[in-house]
Amino acid sequence: MGSTTKTTEVIDNTTEATMPQFQEDFLRNVVIPKGTEIGTAEFTPYEGQRVAGMTDLERGAIQGYGGLDTGADAYGAAGDVYAGLAGRTPQDQAAQIAQYQNQFTQGVIDPTLALMERQRGKDIVAEQGQITGAGAFGNTRRDVFQGERAGEYDARMGQTLAGLQQQGLQYGTQRAAAEDALRMQAAGQMASTAGAGLQSQLAGLGAQLTAGSAERAPQQAELDAAYEQYLAGLQFPLSQFGALTGTAAAIPAGFGTTNVSGTSMGTSYQGGAGNALAALGSFGQGLGAMGYNPLK
């Protein structure tokens, strides 16, 4: 086909831009009303449930957290032990050691001295027999002999007593230190047991809470899907409007422009009728995809 022409009177060289009727109808009857509809629509808030309710397992776990046995009594008792040991004065420590020294004296020193005294008594009897057998009845010789034996006994007694007293001091000191160590160990064990019990409770409640969350997950997924559908519904009119405006923008630039030449008596449409029809075909495909038919 050739270019479409019509006869007209030329006044001046002009270019007249006109919009095709079907494009004007599309904008007025489809695009603009749709934009007005979207722009004036009232907001519809989401009225569905957004968060799934807690399961029985979750509620039980939360109640369990509120009733935890934190071991406060055990920690308090252990703290009292440590505080008591740390707050002792030197006089308190000396009294503690003296207590065990007295136990050593009663249990070891006193029986040992008593045994030595009994032995000394036996020795004196034996000495008297020796003196009688030797016929040493003079007071001087007897006194010298008995004095020597008494001196030896007193020396042995002094050495024994000093050694036993030193042992008693060591015993008291070691016993006091051992007792302090045992008390601290018992306090530490008490606190450790309380801590282990608390951790065991927390682990059990944590596992219960995790199981409850897993039980709630499918219901939460359903609620999330419903909300996503609501959001998609809000977005759908905008997607429609975007498609419509995109279709309108697909009309080729210059389509419908009329060139009037001063050197001829005719009017020629830019690009010729063949190009115009091709453009109309492309545009019609875009309208058809949106369900719009300008020929209806």
Give the pLDDT confidence score for residue 249 in this predicted structure: 79
Q: How far apart are CA 64 and CA 44, in angstroms?
A: 41
Q: How far apart are CA 23 and CA 29, in angstroms?
A: 10
Exposure pattern of 50-85 as b/e (b: 16+ CB <10 Å)? eebebbebbeebeebeeeeeebeebbeebeebeeee
Give the alpha-carbon dihedral of 206, 207, 212, 216, to 10 degrees.
90
Instruction: Spell out the per-residue pLDDT of the chain, length 296, in tens.
Output: 433 334 444 445 555 667 778 888 888 899 999 999 998 888 889 999 999 999 999 999 999 998 888 888 998 999 999 898 888 888 988 888 888 888 888 888 888 888 888 887 777 777 666 666 655 555 566 666 667 777 787 788 888 888 888 888 898 899 888 999 998 999 999 999 999 999 999 999 999 999 999 999 999 999 999 999 999 999 999 999 999 888 887 776 655 555 554 444 444 434 333 343 334 344 444 444 444 444 44
Give the pLDDT confidence score for residue 114 in this predicted structure: 85
Give the pLDDT confidence score for residue 118 in this predicted structure: 83
Bridge partners for 266 per DSSP: 7
Give the pLDDT confidence score for residue 46 in this predicted structure: 93
Angle formed at CA 6 by CA 5 and CA 8, multiple of 5 degrees:
135
Q: Looking at 87-138, list the stretches that DSSP marks H as alpha helix, in order from N- to C-terminal side.
A: 90-104, 110-133
Q: How far apart are CA 150 and CA 117, in angstroms?
A: 12
- Here the tokens at position 268 are 């020629």
Q: Looking at the chain, list the stretches that DSSP marks H as alpha helix, in order from N- to C-terminal side.
A: 21-26, 32-40, 56-66, 72-86, 90-104, 110-133, 139-249, 272-289
- Residue position matching structure tokens 């999330």: 224
